[in-house]
Amino acid sequence: MKVCIYGLGAIGGLLAARLAARGEVQTSAVARGATLHTLQQQGLTLIEGPPEQSKEQRHRLHASDNPTDLGVQDVVILSVKATALPDVAKHIAPLLGPDTTLLSMMNGVPWWFFHGLPNAPEQIQLTSLDPDGRLVAALPCDRVVGTVTHLSAANLGPGMVRHVAGNRIIIGEPGGGTATPRAQAILQALQSAGFDVEPSEQIQKDIWYKLWGNMTVNPISGLTGATGDRILDDAYVRQFMSRCMHEAAEIGRRIGITIDQDPEDRHQVTRQLGAFRTSMLQDVQAGKAIELDALVGAVLDIARQVHVAAPNIETLMGLSRLHARTLGLYPA
């Protein structure tokens, strides 16, 4: 199997290193700048285990900033930020053959979310994600297999990644299940690479449930600079998060995805993570564009089209967007 990782950040680097280590998968990556230089000169370094017992391994893989150099793949893993997808859409074509699968491994609502989703309203448009249809044209929905990741990794520098916590990947076809040959092949490859892989009956439900938990804490952390524990310790903030989550649960119900859990129960799950920095907080601190549309904007797209009032989510979006715009991290 030929697999290319498009987006060699923390999660992409973890995937690339583990797949390359198995030797059963011909692994390559699209990378740029200092990361590409390090990969070409030294390889990709993965650090696993607690600091006092960590193990460091270096892996060689074919990398280029030009997809044409890598050729047609069996699977392309999209592990980029949602903000980078328009650029991916411009350059990905040389990697795609008639049978290439796109493994979507990203935060928030993906561009393909309504493809195959049963009982969903017809013709919902995710204009905040794909206003002109270029993503759907370049990254066809029928090529996609979806995932939800419950793991974390840290990028320690060009070509160096540390596995921090978690090992679980949920995988599923947009139309439901994992019975297709392509889903089974990917599932087995990820299992062989050491991940705990869980088949999903309906991957969109798993995506929406994870979004329900992080669509508030991510932007609030980016806005305030606070870690997860401090956010949840503030009663006013936690109650605001719960109001947003009640709105999101109703939006989900209108598209056929029911969440039976109470927001307070979900907060307790988040609290177990301790003083963590969300991905959006890390992006703000690093001066990188934030994934606000995938986490919040797309939810409002859906809310308007299924006629659910979402004033709290609108407030979350407005404040977060204004803050990001003043920092130059969200387009004007």
CB-based contact 92:139 (threshold 8 Å): yes
Report pLDDT digits (tens) over 224-251.
Answer: 999 999 999 999 999 999 999 999 999 9
pLDDT at 296: 98
In order along its 332 residues, the chain shows pLDDT tens digits of: 999 999 998 999 999 999 999 878 999 999 999 999 999 999 999 999 887 888 999 999 999 999 999 999 999 999 999 999 999 999 999 999 999 999 999 999 999 999 999 988 888 999 999 999 999 999 999 999 999 999 988 889 999 999 988 999 999 999 999 999 999 999 999 999 999 999 999 999 999 999 999 999 999 999 999 999 999 999 999 999 999 999 999 999 999 999 999 999 999 999 988 898 899 999 999 999 999 999 999 999 999 999 999 999 999 999 999 999 999 999 98
Pair type for strands 73-78 and 44-48: unpaired
- Token pair listed for 225: 């600079």
* Residue 214: per-residue pLDDT: 93
Q: What does the pLDDT read at residue 194?
A: 95
Task: Give domain limits for the chain.
Answer: 2-201, 205-324
In this structure, how many other beta carbons lie within 10 angstroms of the beta carbon of residue 165? 11
SS3 content of the chain, % helix, strand, coil (to 5): 45, 20, 30
Instruction: State the residue for tokens 């599923």.
Output: 172
Is 2-201's fold the same as 205-324's? no
Q: Which of 184, 204, 199 is nearest to 112 (CA)?
A: 204
Domain 205-324 part of CATH 1.10.1040.10: yes
Q: What is the pLDDT of residue 64?
A: 96
Distances (CA, A) of 26 to 72, 75, 158, 316: 12, 10, 22, 43
Hey, what CATH class is 2-201 in? alpha beta
| 298 dihedral zone (left: phi>0; alpha: psi -120 to 50; beta) | alpha
Instruction: Just list the catalytic residues.
Output: 210
Residue whose structure tokens are 């004033």: 311
- One DSSP character per residue, 190-203 reads HHHTT-EEEE-S-H
The DSSP letter of residue 230 is: H
Helix 235-254 and helix 311-326: axis angle, to 10°?
Answer: 110
DSSP secondary structure letter of residue 2:
E
